[in-house]
Every structure is written in C-alpha cells, then in structure tokens.
Chain A
Amino acid sequence: MPIVLEKLSHIYQQGASTTTALKDIDLTIGDEDLLALIGHTGSGKSTLAQHLNGLIKPTSGRVLLDGRDINAPGEDSRKLRFRVGLVFQYPEHQLFEETVYKDIAFGPKNMGLSEVEIDQRVRGAMDTVGLPFEEIKDRSPFEVSGGQMRRIALAGVLAMRPQVLVLDEPTAGLDPRARDLLLSDIQRLHQEGTTVVMISHAMDDVARLATRIAVLEKGALAMVGTPGEVFSRYEELTAMGLDVPQGCQLTRLLREMGGPAMADCYLLESLADSLTQQIKGGDGGAA
C-alpha cells in the first residue's frame, strides 16, 4: 500500500508568528520499503511522521494512501487512517491501562471489533514482539522492564494490524539487548510485508536495515535514495550535522590518505570483504 506525499507543507501558527515545519515535500513510500527518515533535531521528521496517519493535517498538499486522500472528509478516510500505525517517541509514556492485555486491546476496541477478534489480535501482536502472553497479560504494564514496556506499546499499535508502520525513534533510550530485539521485530514485520517508516539517529542501524533513506533539512526533503547513494554524499550529510556510519568515515579517510578505494562503505560485512581483498591482493603484488 504505497503512501504518496504530494507537495506537502505544514505551517505552525503561534500567535502572530508562523513557522514552516514542512515545505513542499514530494515523496513516494513503496510497499516494499523500509524507509529511514533522518535529519537534525528540528528538521521536521516527527511532524512528517505524524502526517502519515492524519494526526496532523497538512496546511497544503495531500497524503495519499493507495491513491486516496487520508484527510478527505467522511468515515472512509477514518478507516483509511487506521491502516497506518504510528508509534511515538517513548511510546511507553502513553501506557495507561491496568493490565498489559487491556492496554494492547485498546486500539482494536476503538476500531469496534468483536471480543473474539480483539483477543486474537492481542495474542498475535504479543507473539510478534516476543512478549509471553500467559506470563504478562494480567500484569500492570508499569511493572515490566523498559524494553518490555516499549514492546507493549508497539504491540498496541500492531494489534490494529496496520499495513504501514511508522516509528519515531523506536530504540531511543533502550539498552543494546532491548534495541536488538526491537530492531529484529521491525525487520521481521517488514519482511512479512508491512511497509515501515522509521525515524532514527542511529546511522549504523539505518545502514543495516533501510531499503531507502529520506533526509530532511529545515523542513525540506534534501535527499532520497538507497543507503549506498545517501551515505556516499558524506560532505552534505556532515554539513547538515548528521552522523554517517563509521564504515563510510573510514572509506573517506582512506581515500584522503591516498589509500585503497572501497566500493561500498555502509555495511561492515562488505567493507571487511573488500578490505580483505585489497590487503591480500596488495600483499601478493608486493611479494
């Protein structure tokens, strides 16, 4: 289910002053995408993400899901918006129910589903994110670990069975183990056919997971492309104050020092392969 942003702009009004948060964004997110949205703090990433499920309405331009405007008036658009699940930053701050089960069931309940359907969805969502159903369904969502709280919040969105999943810095503040678990959940959802849009500052994660990257700067779309394309534009990214994966920093430094040229830089595995080739080949030549 592709999402198309057409000349999307958003202007915040604060008293007499206005701030342009998003400016003429044209972007197509394809079914098969795991799109990473990167940019400096204040570049408009979160504002853009909140447009994708109609939480914020564009000042001008449109958000099309499967060719239909999600902000058109009427019940159909409401149903359309249910197909996009948004997971906020620190979503565990929004847990509120007495039990894990009730919290995850909240969204499906809102959709007006039957009890049986709700039960299936809660079980399914907990299974997807690796939460043991019997063990924690009746516990308070505030009694579990931070990583589990994050996954309960994600399960609450997944229980609505969105076809598009939008995540705003899903791993912020998690320890490495909880981060890896969550990222592999996201990767699996993507492989099983969910379109994913993920805001992240962690470039090494982005390099590993994304099929495409969109870079926002000052509310405008500065670049869109594959990780290889985007991370090869090292100077522009660093000028925007963004990190690049360390593999790309190494590739660049080697080039500056007059050393070997590497084809791809953003995946450590392939970098290790081409360095090995260079080094072994180089030694052979010298000997």
Chain B
Amino acid sequence: MTTIPHLVLDQVTYRYEPEAPPAVNQVSLTVPRGQFAAVLGHNGSGKSTLAKMLNGLFLPTEGSVLVSGMDTREEKHTWDIRQAAGMVFQNPDNQLVATRVYDDVAFGLENIGVPTQEMPPRIDEALRLTGMSEFADRPPHLLSGGQKQRVAIAGILAMQPEALILDEATAMLDPQGRKEVFDTVARLNREQGITVVWITHFMEEAAKAQRVLVMNHGGIEMDGTPREIFSRVEEIRDLRLDVPPMTKLAHMLNARGVPAAPDVLTVEEMAREVKRLCPSCWKN
C-alpha cells in the first residue's frame, strides 16, 4: 500500500490560448487515495479542463499534476497515467465503439496490448462489477443510457485503474439511469477503493460524496464535506448553484425562527430534525 496521495495538483494553470484568460487558475489540490470527491460549478468554471488534466489528456500550462506520484508532463508516464486514471464523459453514445458489449470492454485492453489470454477474466470481472454481465452479447446501441455508461465504465475498469474521473456522466440520463450509474461508481469506490472525481450539476449526487469542491472562474472557491458546503446556502446561491431541497427547507425554517440544523442533507435527516424540534408533534 502506497502512502503517496493519489492526485496532487500544485499551482496548476491551464490556458487554451497563450493570450486567453486561464480556464484553470493556480489550483492546488490533493485528493487522497480512495476518496469520493464531487466537483460542482457552472459551465465555464473550469471543471472539465481540470478533469482532463487529471489523466494527462491536457497538460498544465503552469504548475504540475501528479498521478500516483507520476508527473503528467513526463511523456514516459503518459500510458501508465491514462491507465491509472480513466475518464467517463457526458454523452453515452460517443464512447462506445464495438457492435457487442463484450468487444467494447475488450477494446481498451487491446489498445494497451494486454495478451489475449489475459483478457477474458478481466473483461468478465469488469462486466460483473458494473452489473452488465448479462448484457455481454448485446449490441450497445440497444441499451439504455445508464447501461451504456456502465459499459463505458466497464471498459475502463478492465484496465484496472486506480481512479475514475467522471465528467457529468449522468447529465444526459433519466433519473433511473442516473441512479444506476451513481450507485455503480459509489460501490466501486467503497468496495474496490477506487478514487473517484465526480463532476456533476446534480446537488443530490454531490450530497453523497465525501468531499465537495466548488469551482468558479477557474479556481476552487469552496472545499469541504457536503454538510459544510451546502449549509453555506447564501454563498452557494451567490454562485447561482443549488443546494439539496432538504437543506433549502432547513434554511427556510431558520428564516421562520425555527432552529433547524443548517446542514441537513436528506429526507431522513430532516424527519429526525422535525422530531427533535417538536417531540409533542408525535403521537407516540
């Protein structure tokens, strides 16, 4: 077990054009191994640019990005880094290439030159971990959006990555697909210890992360647990982001003179809070 922090950004700046304002501006950030970190922020806040630097797809204009201690600017590490930190993108239809789910998962392995005889167990395991085993022989284009994203994730898992970076991977899915994909990734994080960087616009997803990073104008504006972040309702509102509905309700109660805990996140927590605030409202 290595003790090197998993992802380390040191004073990272990225510019798309030499004269353009930086898309990511002087960001320093450490993500420990096994953490589930959600990243929030508007389009244009720098989230996607940051994500693409985490596996060397983009190289920082200034500063350095280390993945398991490997510097993304050193060419000799490029393939190791891509394998160690896999990316899933927004549109499920742009990520699948083969005519059969199984072959799609095999595609990445072929690319990195895994010997043919080693491939089947890795593919089977990846399909099992994403709950897609029974779809192995299906053509990907007939799957639901959530299933397609799980195939994309399986393709990365087969490469045995240490980190998954998901850039709005649920944005185009319906509520069921979103839940499917989120639950799959949360399980991989919990059971396989895979580090997760989860970029999203859905606050209820961020509420389930261990850590929430809020980006604005290329920098990290807020960094903390979901409870810490979402209880800062006014700041979140100034950034024109949302807070989860139950946090909003707690805020409204406080405005009405009811001292509800400001860091309530879920329906269950709010129900307990109501019970605490009003024992006599209960029949038993």
Contacts and interface: CB of A to CB of B under 8 A. Distances in A.
Contacts, number: 112
Nearest to B146: A41
A217 B145 CA distance: 19
Interface stretch (B156-164, B220-228, B241-249): B241-249
B253 A176 contact: no
A250 B258 contact: no
Interface stretch (B110-118, B131-139, B267-275): B267-275
Nearest to A256: B271
Contact of B281 (A41, A174, A242, A259): A259
B256 A283 contact: no
Interface string A250-287: 10011001111000000011011101101110110110
Contacts of A18: none
Contacts of A260: 274, 278, 281-282
A14 to B, nearest CB: 13
A201 B245 contact: no
Contacts of A174: 201
A92 B233 CA distance: 32
B144 interface: yes
Contact of B249 (A177, A201, A268): A268
B281 A247 contact: no
Contacts of B271: 250, 253-254, 257, 259
A172 interface: yes
Contact of A272 (B42, B249, B278, B280): B249
A247 B43 CA distance: 28
B279 A286 contact: yes
Contacts of B245: 204, 245-247, 268
B246 A282 contact: no
Given A41-B174, A275-B274, A279-B281, A177 B240 contact: yes
B214 to A, nearest CB: 12
Nearest to B268: A253
Interface residues of B, number: 42
* Count class of interface residues, chain A: 35 or more
A285 B270 CA distance: 22
A146 B48 CA distance: 14
B252 A258 contact: no
A283 B44 contact: no
Interface string B253-264: 101111000000
Contacts of A250: 246, 249, 267, 270-271
Contacts of B44: 145
Contact of A279 (B177, B246, B274): B274
B104 to A, nearest CB: 22
Contacts of A178: 43
A-B pairs with the 4 shortest C-beta distances? Answer: A272-B252, A282-B278, A246-B245, A286-B280
